[in-house]
Amino acid sequence: MRAERILVNAGKTLAVLLLLVWSLFPIVFIITSSFKPGREIFAVPPQWLFEPTFDHYITLWQRWAVFFHGLLNSTIVTIGAAALAVVASTCAGYVYSRYSSRWLGASLLSLIAIRLIPPIVVTLPLFPIVNNLGLADTHFILSVLYATFFVSLGTVLMRTFVDQIPRELDEAASMDGATLPVILWRIIMPLAAPGIIAVAVFVVVFAWNEFLFAFIFTSTKAKTAPLVISEMIGSIEGVDWGVLFAASTIQLLPVLIFVMLMNRYLVAGLTAGATKG
């Protein structure tokens, strides 16, 4: 029995370690490489001990100012998308939770169905429309697009959360004098906070890293950081891998920190409704 348990535990530990290596290796590689002198980056065998250098970061700052502008654009678009998606998902989730009719049921189903369509199918026909409206190359259009693709999932998630808030609380608040927006703001949103954070994490990770829509709908003013990184690869002077890894590290860190900070709530969010709370 005892030997068996040790074996099982060892197996589990090994599996976790493999997973860790599998998921952490690229991150560690990118971050360490950004501090290595250029010729050591792809050295065989890999150099684990090296003298860190900030050269790549300095070069990045001097020659790729457009990257930092891209980061600012990414930040604006991401915050916009997250805010839009959270507000829309919470409101829609509230409606789906509190009201019921045949049409509402059907529309919830269609929300999920829309999610299954490849985004590019919807995106290409949008291009002339966005152009005609004069919305191409704006932060606004990217925020709206990113939010739109997450509202369906966000709505379903938020409905689960609102379902767990007793309806009597809405009624008590309404008798206390609250209007619907006040109920949403002061009762529903604080109590559904883990769900809101889960939706926000999804949207932030997606919007921060997204490439395809940004590539299609922006050119200069609203160009996001991933586009600039791709330009680095296509640079005519050849790829400066050190600078590329420095840019990737900077691109990677904010979202990594954000997800780690929100991790606690995210787990609660993803398992919502699994058991009666």
Contacting positions for another protein (CB under 8 A): 166, 168-169, 171-179, 182, 187, 190-191
Residue with tokens 């535990």, as numbered in its chain? 9
Do the beta carbons of residue 213 and residue 146 sit within 8 Å? Answer: yes
Of 188 and 229, CB closest to another protein: 188
- Least distance in angstroms from the C-beta of 172 to another protein: 4
Q: Which residues have CB under 8 Å from 190's CB, separation 6+?
A: none
Supply angle C-alpha 70, 257, 228, rounded to 5.
Answer: 20
Of 122 and 171, CB closest to another protein: 171
Of 168 and 237, CB closest to another protein: 168
Of 60 and 158, CB closest to another protein: 158
- Least distance in angstroms from the C-beta of 100 to another protein: 11
Q: In Å, how far are 36, 56, 151, 252, 255 from 154, measured between CA atoms?
A: 41, 39, 5, 24, 19
Q: Which residues have CB under 8 Å from 84's CB, separation 6+?
A: 143, 144, 147
- Least distance in angstroms from the C-beta of 194 to another protein: 12
- Least distance in angstroms from the C-beta of 80 to another protein: 27
